[in-house]
Amino acid sequence: MIAIEDRDIREKVRERRSGATLLFLVDASGSLGVRKRMAAVKGAVLSMLRDSYVRRDRIGLMAFRRSSAEMVLPPTRSVEYSYRKLEDLPTGGKTPLGEALVRAGEYMTSYARTHIGERCFIVLVTDGRANVPVAQGADANAEALKTAENLRIPGVRWIVVDAGAGFPHFDNAEKLAAALEARYFRLEDLDADRLAEGVRAAVDR
């Protein structure tokens, strides 16, 4: 006679990986290395979107330059759509970091409210230095840091990728990450594969 007890019963449970939304907020100003930075970001976004079938992530991109921030790619899972939108990325001009923080904050505040329960991240790719203040006559760097300290978005976390290149290396991006309570990492050589790998690791921590 075979006796079956409760502990002998097994049920197969399929684990469901929840998706996330990542908005890349990228310095596209005329600072040193901007072409390489934008190429790395474009490659990372497309690489992560190719993985989105499994991970169910949405990826978007907002670029800041001159006096404002522009939504280049609203969060999406479509690789084909992203190729078209990212074909010509805008670059050049000054660095309105404070304005970019405000714009990204406003967008993701609204987004998180309509996607309750979804993990949301803003991936800020910058050297942390600004030269266009929001308030006329203000110190752009001090203003951006103060904005970061006051910027808290329910349901949204920050990742700061230090894009500073060359020597000497300034700690502006690291200070900005601390003010945003962000996950921070720096890549000595900013390329698409390393950027995508670093962001994935930060999201999965």
**pLDDT confidence bin for 196, thresholds 50/70/90:** very high
Q: Measured between alpha carbons, how far is 80 from 5 in angstroms, rounded to an integer?
A: 53
Burial 37-60 (b: 16+ CB within 10 A, else e): bbebbbbbbbbbbeebeebebbbb
pLDDT digits (tens, 9 = 90+) for 135-186: 999 999 999 999 999 999 999 999 999 988 766 678 999 999 999 999 999 9
CA–CA distance, 64 with 2 (Å, rounded to integer):
70
Rounded distance, CA 144 to CA 178, Å?
A: 13
Contact 125, 25 (CB under 8 A): yes
User: Which residue carries 């808290």 as its tokens?
Assistant: 152
Q: What is the mean pLDDT of the chain?
A: 89
The domains located in the chain, with CATH, are 26-204 (3.40.50.410)
* Best CA proximity match to 124, nearest among 112, 138, 108: 108
Give the pTM.
Answer: 0.88
